Amino acid sequence: MLDGILLGLSTALQWQNLLYVIAGCFVGTFIGMLPGLGPITAIALMIPITYSIDPSSGMILMAGVYYGAIFGGSTSSILINAPGVAGTVASSFDGYPLAKQGMAGKALAIAAWASFTGGTIGALLLMLAAPTLAKVSLSFQSADYVALMCLGLTAIAAFSNKGTFLKAMMMTVFGLTLSTVGIDPSSGTERFTFGNTDLLDGISFLLIAMSTFALAEALSNVLKPEVKQGNSEQPMQIGSIRLSKAEVKEISPTIGRSSLLGFIIGVLPGAGATIASFMAYAAERNLAPKAVQEKFGKGALRGLAAPESANNAACTGSFVPLLTLGIPGSGTTAIMLGALIAYGIQPGPMLMQDNPDVFWAVIISMYLGNIVLLILNLPLIPYLARVLIMPKAILTMMILFFSLIGVYLVSFNTFDLFMMIGFALIALVLRLLAFPMAPLLLGFILGDMIESNVRRAMMTSDGSLSIFWDKPLTLGIMLLAIIVLAMPLLSFLRLRKAAV
Amino acid sequence: MLNRDTLGALIFLAFFTAYAVFAWQIPLLPFEEMDAVNSASIPKVYAVLGLMFSLLALLAQAIKRQHSSGEGWPQINLRSIGQTAVLLLLMWVYTALLEPIGFLLATSVFLSAGFFIMGERRWRVLLLASVPVAVVFWLIMTKLLGIYLVPGELWS
């Protein structure tokens, strides 16, 4: 492992990679601060740029953007009570009241330190967990992968917002169906191309990511202008960013506990930063003494430190299944998987052996990203916060322009742009109907992998379906996927029964 | 009245039905016919799963409706709908004109028209926020990174 860490350090500390981390953190913070835009959009906008650089640098840039976007989301949660991303909603519960009390600087400092510690603990745990899990997963066979992917797809739907399980499942299957467009790689048969040669290679993942996230989010903000866009009439006073010894003592145990909890939740497929931050907030409120409990929601320091450390640790944790099994557990890691595949790199147990520079550089860059956020972004917060009063017209048009031209620069085919506009319209309608987008992306990216693994498994079993329950490991994962799938349905039936 | 959950389920039911029809029409090559998994197998499974989930969603709505009216529609004003529709149309026009009139002109027009649609009326802002962006982006791409950007088929 020491060799790996040294390799990661030597890659990540190259001057151009350091610049990518810094640039990624800045861009991520900038985009993450904008209400309605999250890390998936931020990363999607970066993908065309990463295509022109080597894979390690590309992944380092995207990891920086990811961290920056989460940090930026916290900033808008604290300053204007408008979380840029779902993972920082819990941060606004106590962060915004603190800012209203004139302690915005203190709240931002707590968020930065909690994020730094959460990210650092997460990176250390990732260093320990990923190589071990990668070694274990070397024994996985095609059927096990199919089972794991089924678990990933059902889990992201099961962990989606309350009451949207079936919507998430429909979106997952929609994503899977889109992955079948084009020439079947095994037989060469054309599927769903309708005689259009532009569809022979299938639909590019960048096109889907850009249209369903960047374009649709920007248009959604135009369609629903009630989304808070900052209080430009009353600029927020940032105040001091210094923390007293007593305050540090108060939040330290919270940060430690929440980081651990966040990492564990982040590793679980589908759970991610949002659930981690809410669970850490709830756990901390329950653990707090009665007097402190009453402060929660009114500006409790622990109430801010808990979700901030948990969401950062969860972000790091979500890289474990991606790097070791090649299975993304969230929309953000799904988009990174797509980028890696576009580089010709297949994440999974062999990644550590075949591309150790990428594997370790990503892990080390996460740590560097946290340092960059702490050293550079925190003092610059008052200036970065000005982005919150940027005119909506300029912002929207820039996102539309960079999304369209980003896809064009990769394919140089205007058909892709027309298709992108069509998908943006579909995504916009689906957003209005309250359908979640991340399952679509996950389904689309996993679709090809599921198909090839099912074929391989069925070939080895001579066409017998029993390969999916013969081995205890495969059976166990399949049962887990079925339980995850059945849980929301059972809870719905129980609720209906109670209502009657 | 049709609530948005029911409408969503109906849209997907229609989509998955159409997908199923095409999935069952995927032509199989002679050597595939005996394969356990052929080109049409996985699409057929996805079609069945999609139909199953959309029917379940409709069923859930039918059960829910006995107790409540379901999730309501978001409040959107006509001006926002118009703005969004015109922006979509503008993107379509930009795509159609990108290669014929070239990146520089198409992008400058696209950005300034977009700012105008979004409510910006100061002509100086319209020009300064569009032409320099297009020129700087073009310079970075073509001169710095060596990426070819179409100069315009109509005049090249």
Q: Is A415 in the B-facing interface, judged by CB distances under 8 Å?
A: no
Give the confidence band of A181 by pLDDT, cuts at 50, 70, 90. Answer: very high
pLDDT at B24: 94
- pTM to 2 decimals? 0.81
Residue in chain A closest to B125 (alpha carbons) equals A394
Q: Which residues of B touch A189 (CB under 8 A)?
A: 26-29, 32, 39
Rounded to two decimals, the ipTM of the complex is: 0.93
Mean pLDDT (whole number) for A416-437: 93
Give the minimum alpha-carbon distance from B7 to chain A in angstroms, rounded to a whole number: 8
- Two tokens, residue B104: 């520089």
Rounded alpha-carbon distances, angstroms, from residue A313 to A118, A252, A367? 5, 15, 11
The tokens describing A330, both together, are 């969230």
Which residues lie closer than 8 Å to A86 by C-beta, 6 or more apart?
A38, A273, A274
A346 class by beta-carbon count within 10 Å (0-12 exposed, 13-18 middle, 19+ buried): middle
Give A236's pLDDT tier (boundaries 50, 70, 90).
low
Q: In the predicted model, what is the mean pLDDT of residues B63-76?
A: 67
Q: Note the pLDDT tens digit of each residue in A112-128.
A: 889 889 988 888 888 88
CB contact under 8 A, B118 and A397: yes
Residues B4-16 pLDDT 10s = 889 999 999 999 9
Model confidence pLDDT, tens digit, residues A305-334: 999 999 888 888 888 888 888 888 777 888
Pick the range with the lowest mean pLDDT from A343-347, A397-401, B106-110.
Answer: A343-347
> Among residues A458, A349, A418, which one has the least CA distance to residue A207?
A418
Helix, strand, coil percentages, rounded to 5, for chain B: 70, 0, 30
Most confident of A375-389, A454-468, B94-108: B94-108
Q: What is the pLDDT confidence band of residue A229, given thresholds at 50, 70 and 90?
A: very low
Window from A166-170, A334-338, A453-457 with minimum mean pLDDT: A334-338
* High-pLDDT (> 70) share of chain A, %: 92
Closest CB to A176 among B15, B46, B83: B46
For A451, nearest residue in chain B (alpha carbons): B42
What's the length of chain A? 500
Extended strands (E) in A350-416: none
Looking at chain B from residue 80 to 109, which residues have their Cβ under 8 Å from any Cβ of chain A? 80-81, 83-84, 87-88, 91-92, 94-96, 98-99, 107
Mutate to test the interface with B, among A417, A433, A435, A452 (most CBs of B within 10 A): A433
Q: Write down the mean pLDDT value for chain B.
A: 88
Task: Please check the confidence at residue A349 and state whether its pLDDT lies above 80.
Answer: no
- The rounded distance, in Å, linking the Cα atoms of B156 and A279 is 60
Pairing mode, strands A182-183 and A190-191? antiparallel
Q: Reduce the DSSP state of residue A234 to 3 states and report it.
A: coil
Instruction: Give the model's pLDDT for residue B70.
Output: 54
B 18-57: CB under 8 A from A: 19, 22, 26-29, 31-32, 35-40, 42-43, 46-47, 49-50, 53-54, 56-57
Tokens for A2, please give them: 């020491």
CA distances from A162 to A275, A282, A367, B32, B152 (A): 12, 17, 34, 43, 51
| Cβ-defined contact of B43 to A191 (cutoff 8 Å) | yes
* Helix ranges restricted to H, A138-202: 142-158, 165-178
Task: Name residues 162-221 of chain A within 8 A of B (Cβ).
Answer: 166-167, 169-170, 173-174, 176-177, 180, 184, 186-189, 191-192, 219
Per-position DSSP letters for A301-339, written without gaps between them: HHHHHHHHHHHHHHHHHTHHHHHHHS--SSHHHHHHHHH
Average pLDDT, chain A: 83
- pLDDT(A232) > 50: no
- Asked if A409 has any chain B CB less than 8 Å from its own CB, the reply is yes
Cα A24–chain centre separation: 15
Mean pLDDT: which of A39-53, A239-253, B8-22, B28-42 is highest?
A: B8-22
- For residues A401-425, b (16+ Cβ closer than 10 Å) or e, as one string? bbbbbbbbbbbeebebbebbbebbb
Answer for the pair A11, A357: CB distance below 8 angstroms, yes or no: yes
* Residue A492 touches partner B, C-beta closer than 8 Å: yes
